Amino acid sequence: MSDTSQVQSSYRELKVKWSFVFLALALLLSLLLSVGIGPMQISLLDSLSVIVAKTGLIEMQVSGVMENIVASIRLPRAVLAVFVGSVLAVCGAAMQGLFRNPLADPGLIGVTGGASLAAVLMIVLGGTTFSFLFAIFGAYTLMIAAFVGAFLTTMLVAKVATTQFGTSITSMLLAGIAIGIVTGAAVGLLTFTADDAQLRTLTFWSMGSLGGATWSTVLAAGSLIAIPLICLPLHAKNLNALLLGESEARHLGINVETVKRQIITLTAIGVGASVAVAGMIGFVGLIVPHIVRLVLGPDHRYLLTASAALGALFLLVADMISRTIIAPAELPIGLITTIIGGPFFIAMVVYRARSNSL
């Protein structure tokens, strides 16, 4: 008996190991590819030589335009894709663990609703009521506003759901849905007053784009995103315990309230920053953890890290498609993730319903 379980666990560990090797290689490959592919005709070799020259490993002469495109346009965009993809997936996995619900999504706790309300406020009223903000923050106003909006809304949702007995997950779910409806109504009201140019801007904002990537936005968003990327995997064991149920986790000696509060705050920071910098990119947080669970099982010790890697890979590939498929125009990345994610999700639901494991 113990023999078979040992065999099983070593088989599992082997699978985990190889999955991580595969993910790391695929991530590296697609990073290189996304630096090498774009509407401008630059060969993969040339792009690589730019990177090599930049790092100063080898003295090399590269053309100015090429260097600029690779170093200041493609590379920050690829790095941003990695950050945003990984944090969306890791936060999705954490939310699903926290809510013990396979359909949980960072949108449930008001992050996306708050961010989009703030962003639409800036797009529609940025020229009039809020022009002073643009005077202070310049081109970063929209991002800062979206992040602040996301964070404040999430804190409000958490506050509503918290009583003297702690934060109730069910109340949080309901409060999140209710506040999502309220922000949706406010967005609708603003949309109604918007003019043509503003309508187009906010429509495309809600489909997401990594096009705003510069090294300074990567640095700003990346330093925020790094916090949940590092801290959420540290909660893996707590999330595993929470899977058993809250009181069971408490009996295991886990301070459930603190864990809940930390995970929610980390998610608000991570998803808030990524929505602020890239707009709404749907389905990554929902589908990536599901794929990982399908292969590696529900153990959060692997789930969180593997989700981060797969999320980064998914968004890198989606952004490559976004940039090139209808060049010189750009297909919004949120459309691509949902076009890929939707059917996949349906297939998975069908598969799991058949095998009775949903």
Q: Between residues 76 and 289, which has the closer beta carbon with respect to another protein?
A: 76
Is residue 219 a contact residue for another protein (CB under 8 A)? no
Q: Which is nearer to another protein, 40 or 174 (CB)?
A: 40
Long-range contacts of 328-332 (CB under 8 A, 24+ apart): 328/39, 330/209, 330/211, 332/204, 332/207, 332/208, 332/209, 332/279
Q: Could you give the string, one character per residue 312-331, with x where binding to another protein holds by CB under 8 A and - elsewhere?
A: -----------x--xxxxx-
For 103, list phi and psi in degrees, rounded to 5. Answer: -100, 0
Q: Exactly one of 29, 44, 60, 65 binds another protein (CB under 8 A); which one? A: 65
Q: Can you tell me which of 16, 31, 115, 143 binds another protein, judged by CB under 8 A? A: 143
Shortest separation between residue 40's beta carbon and another protein, angstroms: 5
- Of 7-15, 54-62, 172-180, 208-216, the segment contacting another protein by CB under 8 A is 208-216
The 3-class secondary structure across 27-58, one letter per residue, is HHHHHHHHHHCCCCCCCHHHHHHHHHHHHCCC
Contact 87, 308 (CB under 8 A): yes
- Dihedral, 155, 157, 163, 167 alpha carbons, nearest 10: -80
Which residue is it, tokens 């109504």?
185
If one asks whether residue 56 binds another protein (CB under 8 A), the answer comes out as no
Kindly state whether residue 46 participates in binding another protein, applying the rule CB under 8 A.
no
Q: 115 vs 125, 184, 321, CA distance in Å? A: 15, 11, 26
CA distance 68 to 57: 18
> Which one of residues 233, 279, 289, 311 is an interface residue with another protein (CB under 8 A)?
279
Candidates 21-29, 108-116, 200-208, 247-255 — which segment interacts with another protein by CB under 8 A?
200-208
Is residue 221 close enough to count as binding another protein by CB under 8 A? no
- Chain residues in the site for another protein (CB under 8 A): 38-40, 65, 68-69, 72-74, 76-77, 119, 122-123, 126-128, 131, 134, 138-139, 141-143, 195, 197-198, 200-201, 204-205, 208-214, 278-279, 323, 326-330, 332
